[in-house]
Structure 1
Amino acid sequence: MEIHVGRIRVHYVEHGTGRPVLVLHGAGVDHREAEACFEPVFDGVAGMRRIYPDLPGMGRTPAPVTLRSAEDVLGTLLDFADGVAGGAAYLLIGHSAGAYYAQAMAARRPAQVAGLALVCPLLPGLRNIPEHHVVVGPGEGEGEVGDDVFRGYFVIQTPEMLDRYERYVAPAAALVDPAALERIGAQWALAPDHAAPYAGPAAVVAGRLDSTVGYAAAIDLVDHYPHTSLAVFDDAGHALPHEQPELLRAVLVDWLTRVAGAGGGRRPGGGGAG
């Protein structure tokens, strides 16, 4: 599916009906990774319309030269959310760079965001980022598996994780516009937001072994959001949504329950995925 946001044609897929849930992927991939990782969260959860856009310069969403900064991307995403949500309040889930934009969207439009979930979030002030450490790898004498990107992304390097990488992560590489990402990345910092912290139900999930963004900065968000749950998973890196799906689902189902309890929609469970 596609929707025009200004001069940009944003490509997205969606599943189900009900309250909109926008799920934003990270850098260098496209909607397929987010879809593969987060659709299982909604198994058995009724009344949720899950929307997975390709961010500009990735997947099938182009990034024209007029898109020159993270602020420009943020404006596009806010307009996209307005267009697909049709004025309804929506939930936001972001992974990595997608979480960076999701956090800013909630800060800029808090009345439109019914709940916010940040997974392995890219944040200002990253610190104490650990070295990459493989928890589970090939057995003795088996040799290395996957390519350099896989080995630098996953800390659990089993055949199952390699299959997920080859199905949901690697295919996006051919669709990335590297010039656009470099142009936007050169001005990646978003303007400070001086509004009160987002006060809706929030969840923050981080991997203790995340060698891309670490977990220390994510912990700080507990003091930033007054209604947040925090989980830091051991044996998980930046590919946490692949590596620890059951733990992630538990945290996000709790978050969905809190969203429903805050008046944000029907309680999870008791129906099909829609």
Structure 2
Amino acid sequence: MSRRTSAELHFVEHGEGVPVLALHGWTPDHRLMSGCLEPVFAGRRGYRRLYPDLPGMGRSAAPDDIASSDDVLSAVQDFVDETIGDAPFLLVGESYGGYLARGLARSRPEQVLGLALICPTGTAVEQADRTCPEHRVLRPDPDLVGSLEPRLAEEFTEIAVVQSAETLRRFQDEIMSGLDLADRTAMARIRQRWVLTTDPESGPAYQRPALILAGRQDSVVGYVDQFALLPHYPRASFAVLDVAGHNLQFEQPELFDALVREWLDRVAAESWSAC
């Protein structure tokens, strides 16, 4: 099969078994996904977790032919062809990665066994069109924030709903580490054509087990535009978590882990016998 792009995606892989492809959001890298998903899979065998860096992010370069979200999705399609092939797989996406994941599920509905979306970009793609609450800090820690160097303090407090030593640690390990690697020139080029040409929800409804997680205080993508996705995902559990913003996965880690495990159980209950 001929490649769609010239992009080669750096990735990290763990485990063996049914593939699980995890797509991170805009600007960070694969650690955003491995950081929240590896604890979930720690007690589960039989899954091969694939964590790529999207083009222009992490250690994946964005050649000149990557100039839109369509091109980024094409690079992900190439990655699937080369690392998974025709095998069935599970798909997880966070924020912008959730937007791409829906596009991928639209093009491979029979191959994607289950779809999980974490604070995904919803029906409104552009920031100006989104329905989002104002940023609120529900668990402040002014002493912690005051101890940080200015750039880290700015990045952390911009979207944090829970300010604690643990959320700061995970922000540094899973998000800030990727922000420092992003190719801003390439991302600006892609950002000019950010909306996918084909709406992910324009085709037939996705009929496999799904999960949509949203933060009640998410000031980046909100939760209202995600609720509007439900008609297209009739098998989706939809949860809006309080005391959670765009960093839902580590602001409400116990609920996050429980809901993702329940999604895995639903997928396993009806998929393995058909594989």
Q: Report the TM-score when normalising by structure 2.
A: 0.90
8 A contact 2:5–2:71 mirrored in 1: no
Q: Does 1:129 align with 2:132?
A: yes
C-alpha RMSD of matched pairs (Å): 1.9
Query: Structure 2: how far apart are the matches of 1:265 and 1:143?
Result: 54
Identity of aligned residues (%): 44
Query: Structure 2: how far apart are the matches of 1:20 and 1:66?
Result: 28
Residue 140 to residue 89, structure 1, CA distance change in 2 (3 Å): closer
Q: Does 1:214 align with 2:222?
A: yes
Residue 265 to residue 176, structure 1, CA distance change in 2 (3 Å): farther
Displacement, 1:144?
Answer: 6.5
Displacement, 1:5?
Answer: 7.4
Query: Structure 1: how far apart are the matches of 2:159 and 2:144?
Result: 22
- Which of 234, 247, 254 is the aligned partner of 1:226? 234
8 A contact 1:5–1:80 mirrored in 2: no
Residue 133 to residue 19, structure 1, CA distance change in 2 (3 Å): same
Q: Does 1:169 align with 2:170?
A: no
Match of residue 256 from structure 2: 248
Match of residue 13 from structure 2: 14
- Which of 260, 266, 271 is the aligned partner of 2:268? 260
Displacement, 1:173?
Answer: 2.3
Displacement, 1:92?
Answer: 0.4
Displacement, 1:186?
Answer: 1.0
Residue 115 to residue 264, structure 1, CA distance change in 2 (3 Å): farther
Displacement, 1:31?
Answer: 0.7
Match of residue 188 from structure 1: 194
Secondary structure of 1:10 counterpart = coil
8 A contact 1:201–1:262 mirrored in 2: no
Q: Does 1:200 align with 2:200?
A: no
Displacement, 1:142?
Answer: 7.5
Match of residue 165 from structure 2: 159
Give ranges in structure 1 of 5+ residues lacking alignment: 267-274
Query: Structure 1: how far apart are the matches of 2:144 and 2:83?
Result: 51
Query: Structure 1: how far apart are the matches of 2:31 and 2:257?
Result: 18
Displacement, 1:265?
Answer: 6.8
Residue 81 to residue 156, structure 1, CA distance change in 2 (3 Å): same
Query: Structure 2: how far apart are the matches of 1:265 and 1:249?
Result: 25
Match of residue 38 from structure 2: 39
Task: Give a deviation string over 1:174-226, Cα, whole Å, max 9, x none.
Answer: 31111111111111111235320111111000000000000001112222211
Query: Structure 2: how far apart are the matches of 1:89 and 1:252?
Result: 19
Task: Give a deviation string over 1:58-103, Cα, whole Å, max 9, x none.
Answer: 0110001111110011111012112111321110000101101001
8 A contact 1:200–1:227 mirrored in 2: yes
1:52-71 equivalent positions in 2, closer than 5 A: 52-71=51-70
1:73-152 equivalent positions in 2, closer than 5 A: 73-125=72-124, 127-138=130-141, 143=146, 145=148, 146-152=152-158
Q: Report the TM-score when normalising by structure 1.
A: 0.90
Give ranges in structure 2 of 5+ residues lacking alignment: none
Q: Which moved more, 1:202-211 or 1:137-146?
A: 137-146
Task: Give a deviation string over 1:208-253, Cα, whole Å, max 9, x none.
Answer: 0000000001112222211110110000000111111110111111
Displacement, 1:172?
Answer: 1.6
Residue 88 to residue 215, structure 1, CA distance change in 2 (3 Å): same
Q: Does 1:238 align with 2:254?
A: no
8 A contact 2:7–2:66 mirrored in 1: no
Query: Structure 2: how far apart are the matches of 1:199 and 1:162?
Result: 38
Secondary structure of 1:72 counterpart = helix
- Count how many residue pairs are aligned between Structure 1 and Structure 2: 263
Q: Which runs of 4+ in 1 moved over 4 A?
A: 139-142
8 A contact 1:19–1:265 mirrored in 2: no
